[in-house]
Amino acid sequence: MVDAATIAEGVNLMWVLVVTFLIFFMHAGFAMLEAGQVRTKNVSNQLTKNLLTWSVGVLIFFLVGSGVSAVAGGGGYVPATGVGAANDWVGWLFGAVFAMTAATIVSGAVAGRARLRAYVTYTVVLAAVIYPVVAGIGWGGAGLLTGDGLFGSVFGTGFHDFAGGMIVHGMGGIAGLTAAWVLGPRMDRFNDDGTTNVIPGHSMTFAVLGTLVLAFGWYGFNVGTAASVFTVTESGELALGAFATVGRVAMTTTVAMAAGAVGAALVAWARTSKVDTLYVANGLLAGLVAITAIPDTTAWWGAIVVGLLAGAQLPLVFAAVEKRLKIDDVCAVFPVHGSAGVLGTLAFPFVAAPGTLSVGVGTAFLAQLAGVAIIGAWTVGTTAVVFGALRAVGQARVDPDHERTGLDVSEHGVETYPEFGADDRMATDGGWGGRDE
């Protein structure tokens, strides 16, 4: 006789693993997106940071971070090494890919001038403490922001973030902006008279490829969070689990993604009479970020509105960060992940489908606003402390000569494109190349 509970557990675990693998593949998207937006002399450095974000970060999250998250969620310190049942490690891995997504966002903001050791140090702290605290208070059973925590007592509802629009992406974008501010801009980015110089990335092709890989993985991020395929009824029969929610999440994710690209394209065209390709790509991502907190409750029209607003704000916020704040956010991580994540999270009660709010619109908005403020303050404070300490001891930023030469050579001893390198004679795929004397 087939046991329905065994089938349900097996299929549900497989579902979680499949969507986890999709989310892991987003690292390929981040690598290509960021590599495309930096200069040729910094490509290998950016790729190395992405590789080490996963490799160092996931080990730290396994050994320390998941336990810290449990404490922040109102429980005891139980690291992944002590969870017991092997099936529990499936849940740990699902949480780990979310943690590493938050971590890798920061690398794009500090590209071109951060020491590798500084970035890895920050990744260790983020994976061990900064992100686990945010995840614990937001998603833990009795965390500060949950319905069973302080927010439930104060607002009668918890902070709503379905798949990490603020807890993952908003946090990562705010951390990236803070780190970029502490480090200072790349050389020649700003002039003494206050004007700015555009430093274009080396490959629009890589940037767009990375965008589409990220969009593909995002279905695991959002749709995968509704992580139950089957349930078992009281009579012992199989029944569909969260697939009503999955349908709404898939629809709103897709619609917001498309609207984000359109919103960014329209604003770019209105400002310059040109449709900037990179703005369209990043606008698509901003639409995805904005809907990530609320895809389970948003009406179809709300997904379009949120996506359009997220895409539209991207060129405007990027210009404000660049021209007013004078912060060199290389890969636009704040307008893509930070401000878009905040926007979507705060939009929650205003675009919700009928019957999806448990409290009034005003109360729900106040809960969302308070949650955003707490996560933002924690992220700014902890990130500023880490990068400030590294800067104080002279370990945050590469030397000016190394920055001018490029981080590929100075930090890694390699050239991503050796046929365009500085050596007089260098072996390339096409034979020996060099410069005339």
430, part of any domain: no
231, part of any domain: no
Q: How far is CA 422 from CA 372, 401, 414, 415, 433, in A?
A: 48, 15, 11, 9, 11
Q: Can you give the pLDDT at residue 431?
A: 35
Distance from the first to the final alpha carbon of the chain: 82
Q: Can you give the pLDDT at residue 82?
A: 72
Q: Can you give the pLDDT at residue 85?
A: 66
Number of DSSP helices (H) and strands (E) in the chain, helices first: 17, 4
436, part of any domain: no
Output the six-digit token pair for 305.
């509105």
Q: Can you give the pLDDT at residue 434?
A: 39
144, part of any domain: yes
Q: Can you give the pLDDT at residue 81?
A: 77
DSSP of 95-137: HHHHHHHHHHHHHHHSTTTB-HHHHHHHHHHIIIIIHHHHHHH
What's the domain range around 171?
4-225+243-423
Chunked into runs of 10 residues, the chain (437 residues) has average pLDDT values of 84 92 97 97 97 97 94 88 74 94 96 96 98 97 95 97 97 98 96 91 97 97 85 87 86 98 98 96 98 97 98 98 96 98 98 95 98 98 98 96 94 88 42 37
263, part of any domain: yes
Alpha helices in 197-299 (DSSP H): 204-222, 243-272, 277-292
Instruction: Give the pTM.
Output: 0.93
Instruction: Report the CATH number at residue 100.
Output: 1.10.3430.10
What is the total count of domains within the chain?
Answer: 1
Q: Can you give the pLDDT at residue 366?
A: 98
235, part of any domain: no
